[in-house]
Amino acid sequence: MASSLTYSLFPISFILFLSSFIYTSTGAFSEDLSDAILTKRMEKHTHLHFYFHDVLSGKHPSSIRIAGKPKPGAFGDTYIIDDALTEGPNATSRVVGRAQGMYAISAQDSDVALLMVVNYAFALGKYNGSSISVFGRNPVFHDVREMPIVGGSGLFRFASGYALAHTIWFDFKTGDAIVEVFMFEGQRWADGYFQWLLSSEDVVLFLFGF
């Protein structure tokens, strides 16, 4: 009986031992940063101003309807976009990036609103290759609409803030529009966090584990 009990407990003991070994080898799921790392915080703010051109007409539209009812302009209509971002309101103005993503008509009442899921990818100066992500509600017939900045990449990594949109021109026949955009973006992190991140073997393994 005793030998049988010992034999049955052996696999359990071995599994517990192995689990503790794996834990110490790979590290905890989360790790508290020391007070020394969190004592100093860094914060940066960026204000951006540009125009995006949403073109549904012509031979080379930048916005294409990919889902919805037979008649355009109804609830559920979904568009994929690759809109030019320019310094000025004219289409011939210098291009500073692209608005890439999608929007959909998400309201069923007369207050038409779009669900915006858009990455603003910049291609000029020091912001070349960096992007800001916006996800929010856009009530298109309001004079000024506010949408949240939910993230970014490159120089806008860890971005947060908000974007203000104001339509300066709209063609009711074609749906083409030119929209003025102001972005107020901020980044905040603990000084030393990146050094901790890059020196953490577990994080590096996680990033390259896909």
Of 27-41, 52-66, 188-202, the poorest mean pLDDT is in: 188-202
Q: What percent of the chain has pLDDT over 70?
A: 69
Section 59-80 average pLDDT:
94
Number of helices and strands in the chain (H, E):
4, 9
Is CATH 2.40.480.10 the classification given to domain 48-189?
A: yes
Find residue 187's DSSP bridge partners: 44
pTM: 0.72
For 133-176, write each residue's pLDDT tens digit. Answer: 999 999 999 999 999 999 999 999 999 999 999 999 999 999 99
Tell whether the model's pLDDT for residue 132 goes beyond 70: yes
pLDDT bracket for residue 3 (50, 70, 90) = low
Of 21-30, 50-59, 95-104, 177-186, the poorest mean pLDDT is in: 21-30
Tell me the pairing of strands 177-190 and 63-67: unpaired
pLDDT bracket for residue 91 (50, 70, 90) = very high
Two tokens at 157? Answer: 């990594």
H-run or E-run covering 50? strand 41-54
Q: How are the residues of the chain apportioned to helix, strand and coil, as percentages rounded to the nearest 5?
A: 25, 45, 35
Region class of 10: left (phi > 0), else alpha (psi between -120 and 50), else beta: alpha
Two tokens at 195? Answer: 């050094």
Q: In this structure, are residues 115 and 104 in contact, taking their beta carbons and an 8 Å threshold?
A: yes
Q: Where are the domains of the chain?
A: 48-189
